[in-house]
Amino acid sequence: MFRVNENYLKLPGSYLFSTIAKKVGAYAAAHPEESVIRLGIGDVTLPLPPAVITALHRAVDEMGAAETFRGYAPDLGYEFLRKAIAEHDFAERGCEISPDEIFVSDGAKSDSANIQEIFAADSRIAVCDPVYPVYVDSNVMAGRTGSFDADTRTWSDVIYMPCTAENGFVPAFPESRPDLIYLCFPNNPTGEALTKAQLQDWVDYANREGCVIIFDAAYEAYISRADIPHSIYECKGAQTCAIELRSFSKNAGFTGLRLGYAVVPKALRDRNGVSLHALWARRHGTKYNGAPYIVQRAGEAVYTPEGQEQVREMVGFYMKNAAYIRTGLKEAGYEVYGGVDSPYVWLKTPGRMTSWEFFDYLLEKVHVVGTPGSGFGPSGEHYFRLTAFGTWENTVCAVDRIRAL
């Protein structure tokens, strides 16, 4: 009789956002008269930028003509998109990343889950705590995380680096050396960011200790302060220790369109001189047939002058929401973080409520949905995340409801 991969059986309970969906669904069914405002999941609400829509229509027309029809995409992605990425996301910021170091994918979530495949089975991982669950869960599936402690909700073989108000949400170097370090800045869920000097310290640490940093830059478009780096490759030495993941989902509204990319520099090699670029290229070509041509043309449109202006307007809209949430909650007496360089606002739960108690309290009392911090890790307990991706009307209404409590 066949057997399943038992690592999957180690995953505790249901996925965080599935649990939220079930609880909200049950509440909405029992209270159909109530208007529930969802500020939990980080999904966008604005439509795609007009430049993207135009590019999609043009690409569809090309696919409908025999002389311009496209089949399988090149393994790394079409050169027109990779060249635009290299120029606008890196060269303009002084980073030397070539188009053939860029691997186009269907999103940063997939890349963050899949990138661990090219590392040794006994690799030790370190994560910021709280942490985007995909980083840990994908390593659970790979068998790297040891046993799960239900009381502390931690894995025995994972190095947790607490990021709380007490340390300014900046992780300290781990006491024991990891092989892989997951960093997401601006951070999901805390909304906080690292300065260039702080990130440079991590690059220096990784090079010194022989670690690889998996740097998730999905929210770089929301950075407002000058001393916050948009890419880890703005730091000296990053090309020998870091892989960067990017997404079109939050900056250009591609959550339903799906597009992202990973940067794996050719200078990044293991202790035996094996090229991680070559390994990822082999994995990419073996397990992936490429983002659709029409979607990659849509991604290219993001980098046109019209596309860039429209993306700035979109980001500005969500950051206006974030400012309203941040200011409104502060005025209501909450301890609030984030919302300056990211679309997430991270707040302390009142009266030492647990994060799930606060979730139930908001849902029942004012019909507002957020995300319990404990779902992101043990250091997320007594914190709560609200997103700025709602409509302006819903954002204002949700904050005003909370302030009235």
Q: What residue numbers does the annotated binding site for pyridoxal 5'-phosphate cover?
A: 72, 108-109, 132, 188, 219, 247-249, 258, 289
> Residues forming the annotated binding site for substrate?
15, 42, 109, 132, 188, 289, 385
Distance CA 334, CA 337 (A): 10
> Residues forming the annotated binding site?
15, 42, 72, 108-109, 132, 188, 219, 247-249, 258, 289, 385
Helix, strand or coil, per DSSP, at residue 241: coil
Phi first, then psi, for residue 385 (nearest 5°) are -110, 135
- Amino acid identity at 343: P
Phi first, then psi, for residue 210 (nearest 5°) are 75, 40
- Considering only CA atoms, which of 104, 103, 85, 105 is closest in space to residue 95? 85
- Considering only CA atoms, which of 161, 214, 222 is closest in space to residue 191? 222
Report the run of H or E that residue 16 belongs to, with start and end: helix 16-30
Angle, CA of 370, 376 and 381, to the nearest 5°: 80
Q: How many residues does the chain have?
A: 405
Q: Which residues of 214-237 are buried (b: 16+ CB within 10 A; e: fewer)?
A: bbbbbbbbbbeeeebbbbbbbbee
CB 22 within 8 A of CB 158: no
The CB-based long-range contact list for 151-159 (8 Å cut-off, 24+ gap) reads 152/378, 153/12, 153/374, 153/377, 153/378, 154/377, 154/378, 157/124, 158/125, 158/126, 158/127, 159/124, 159/125, 159/126, 159/127
Q: DSSP alpha helices (H): ranges in 86-127?
A: 108-114
Distance CA 187, CA 132 (A): 9
Provide the 8-state DSSP code for 275. Answer: B
